[in-house]
Structure 1
């Protein structure tokens, strides 16, 4: 299992942790991917943070939602609610994003149930995030906790799967490629 570290700016700020400190911890834990998520900043600040991360981290760098900043990272991750902002038809939304980021960049989306996984199987993606596995402090809007159903659901995906939401490094899954560990848990 590989580590996908989720660097959430709001959580870093809440804990009084510098971005550089988080990146250092992620590197010590051999994180293969870091996703930078900032739901409250303007695009200029997010760009600045991506540039800062790129200077000190040479693994895969994913940005959450801000696909217009793709030139500063290796890929983009979109939640279901953020895809709808691109287009009400999720298939069209993924096509639009793929056209912007091109084939050589990574594209992943969040999924939460069998229906979303089966839809994702028909999309031009590199991976899906699947969860939430457990309740988590990093997102207040988690309504469904998959628990032991997560591994079975992951087996339905034709894409690589990252287990999301309350995941710990010690968790074991048969059909999951990445443990997506949030800012609060990687510390």
Structure 2
């Protein structure tokens, strides 16, 4: 399984871990992708963190939500709720995002069930995050856990699939390309 490392600034701060230390850990685990997520920081700080990661990491770098920083990384990941902040129609939101970040950037969105996966199939995306696989301490708003259904639902996606939410390094799926491992599990 390929590793997609989720670098959450709040978790780093809580554990006293620097960006450099996190990137070293991700590289040790052979991460191919790092997604930087910062729900509370300002744009200037996030830009500095992306630049710091890029100096140290040669894999794919994705920014969570802050699509205005796409020029400093390889792509953007958006949650369903965040798409709705762009437009009340998520298809239009994805089209707007694609026009802003351009075709050369990676674009992924979170999905949580078969219906959202099938809708994502109609969108210009590079991948989907699918989950939650398990309950996780970092997300308190999980409404459903897919468990063993995740792999079955992933089979319906025309896009690459990244398993999200409580995924561990040793989890194995048939229809999933990446295991997304959060900061808390990598540290």
Which TM class, normalised by the smaller chain length?
over 0.9
Aligned counterpart, 1:100: 100
Deviates more, 1:70-79 or 1:10-19: 10-19
Tell me the secondary structure at the aligned position of residue 110 of structure 1.
strand
Structure 2: distance between partners of 1:130 and 1:179:
10
Aligned counterpart, 1:7: 7
Aligned counterpart, 2:59: 59
| Cα distance per residue 1:122-172 (max 9 Å; x no partner) | 000000000000000111111110001000000000000000000001111
Q: Once the 2 structures are TM-superposed, how far is the Cα of residue 39 of structure 1 from its aligned partner?
A: 0.4
Aligned counterpart, 1:84: 84
| Cα distance per residue 1:24-60 (max 9 Å; x no partner) | 0000111000000000011111111101111111110
Which aligned runs of 4 or more in structure 1 are off by greater than 6 angstroms?
none
Deviates more, 1:120-129 or 1:137-146: 137-146
Tell me the secondary structure at the aligned position of residue 117 of structure 2.
helix
Structure 2: distance between partners of 1:119 and 1:76:
19
Structure 1: distance between partners of 2:22 and 2:136:
19
Tell me the secondary structure at the aligned position of residue 31 of structure 2.
coil
Which consecutive unaligned segments of at least 5 residues does structure 1 have? none
Structure 1: distance between partners of 2:87 and 2:45:
25
Asked if residue 143 in structure 1 is aligned to residue 143 in structure 2, the reply is yes
Kindly report which structure 2 residues correspond to 1:19-168, keeping only aligned pairs within 5 A, or say none.
19-168=19-168
Task: Give the superposed CA RMSD.
Answer: 0.6
Structure 1: distance between partners of 2:44 and 2:64:
14
Structure 1: distance between partners of 2:184 and 2:154:
24
Which consecutive unaligned segments of at least 5 residues does structure 2 have? none
The number of equivalent residue pairs is 187
Structure 2: distance between partners of 1:38 and 1:105:
20
Aligned counterpart, 1:18: 18
| Cα distance per residue 1:159-186 (max 9 Å; x no partner) | 0000000000111100000000000111
